[in-house]
Amino acid sequence: MDQCLIVCICFFFIYSSVLGKILDKQPDFVKTCLITKPRDEFINCSTHAVQILFNEIPKGNKDIELQVLDPLKVSVVKILQGGGGPVTVNASLTDVTILGFGNTKILFNSVDPETYDFYTKLHLPKLRIDGNYELLGRILLIPLRGKGTCWFDARDLNINVKSDVILEQRNGFHFFNVTKVHVKFSIDGLKLHMGNLFEGIKALEDSTNAYLNANWKPVAESLNPILSRTIEDIMIDILQKVFDNIPADFFLGDIIKNNKDREMKQKNN
């Protein structure tokens, strides 16, 4: 098991680790739920609340220094995966445009009342990625080499996200510090094109693209770890921008009560 996967993502906008401004007034797109309510009621409320949040944030938000997410512009994605799996690639994507986050449907959201970790299920009807690629490696055992433009068109993505959260206090508010996200996802269709494969041997380029499209399922499966990591890196950046700057108290109206309940429970155990 010497699989090693490195994904490195640079956005156009992150050149500072400076936090945006804390929103000390609750914005319209943040709806408050009560975590001490019965579980079903809370999950229904928080699923709706996260949907309202996701209807708004893809437009971008200057107050919290959140860039536009649809289209999302990423300057560089670098991927290095060695080891003996079906994929061995050394690849980079530059000038990347990702379309589709604006149509995110939230199927489920819950917050763990003990740890405050988030569990979220999302559905994206379409996700389209355009960019310039440079690739050397193997996918499905086919050796690939190329440099040019590419696009990927994925249909019906179901994404399960667990976000590790630490509840913190500063500036008189609670905040969710999202420290890690774990992504699992599946897709129901994939079309792709890599231009200038094999540096312009057109017949080989066409037959390889045709083969990869005809075998999109195993291609998607073999790229799953790479894509999961890429989605994780994009999501943690978005979630940190949102939750570093918008107090947790606007999302959960009863954090103090919940913490007291938690302490009581711990004492009784």
Ligand X SMILES: *[C@@H]1O[C@H](CO)[C@@H](O)[C@H](O)[C@H]1NC(C)=O
Strands (E), 171-244: 173-186, 189-194
- Which residue, 84 or 214, is less far from ligand X as judged by CB? 84
Bridge partner list, 110: 119
Distances (CA, A) of 4 to 80, 81, 264: 8, 5, 44
What is the per-residue binding string for ligand X in 168-187, x denoting contact by CB under 6 A? x--------x-x--------
- Which helix or strand (DSSP H or E) is residue 230 part of? helix 216-245
Contacts made by residues 59-62, CB under 8 angstroms, sequence distance 24+: 59/102
Cα separation, 215 vs 204, in Å, equals 16
- Least Å from the CB of residue 179 to ligand X: 5
Q: Which of 37, 48, 128, 155 contacts ligand X by CB under 6 A?
A: 48
- Which residue, 20 or 102, is less far from ligand X as judged by CB? 20
Cα separation, 6 vs 89, in Å, equals 10
Q: Which range binds ligand X by CB under 6 A, 22-30, 37-45, 116-124, 143-151? A: 37-45
- Least Å from the CB of residue 266 to ligand X: 21
Of the candidates 66, 64, 72, the one whose C-alpha atom is nearest the C-alpha of residue 102 is: 72
Query: Looking only at residues 84 through 103 of this chain, which bind ligand X when binding is defined by CB under 6 A?
Result: 90
- Least Å from the CB of residue 132 to ligand X: 14
Cβ-based neighbours of 86, under 8 Å, separated by 6 or more: 138, 139, 140, 141, 218, 222
What's the number of CA atoms in the CB half-sphere (13 Å) around residue 174? Answer: 17
- Which residue, 44 or 103, is less far from ligand X as judged by CB? 44
- Least Å from the CB of residue 49 to ligand X: 8
Q: Which of 44, 110, 196, 228 contacts ligand X by CB under 6 A?
A: 44
- Least Å from the CB of residue 134 to ligand X: 7
Q: Does 73 participate in binding ligand X (rule CB under 6 A)? A: no
- Which residue, 55 or 215, is less far from ligand X as judged by CB? 55
For residues 72, 73, 79, 85, the Cα torsion angle rounded to the nearest 10 degrees is 30
Q: Does 166 participate in binding ligand X (rule CB under 6 A)? A: yes
Q: Which range binds ligand X by CB under 6 A, 7-15, 44-52, 147-155, 217-225? A: 44-52
Cα separation, 121 vs 197, in Å, equals 36
Q: Does 244 participate in binding ligand X (rule CB under 6 A)? A: yes
3-state DSSP helix/strand/coil % of the chain, to nearest 5: 35, 40, 25
Q: Which range binds ligand X by CB under 6 A, 38-46, 107-115, 202-210, 255-263? A: 38-46
# residues near ligand X by CB under 6 A:
11
- Which residue, 154 or 238, is less far from ligand X as judged by CB? 238
Looking at this protein, which amino acid is placed at residue 3?
Answer: Q
Q: Does 110 participate in binding ligand X (rule CB under 6 A)? A: no
Count of C-beta atoms within a 10 Å radius of residue 206: 11
Binding positions for ligand X, rule: CB under 6 A = 41, 44-45, 48, 80, 90, 166, 168, 177, 179, 244
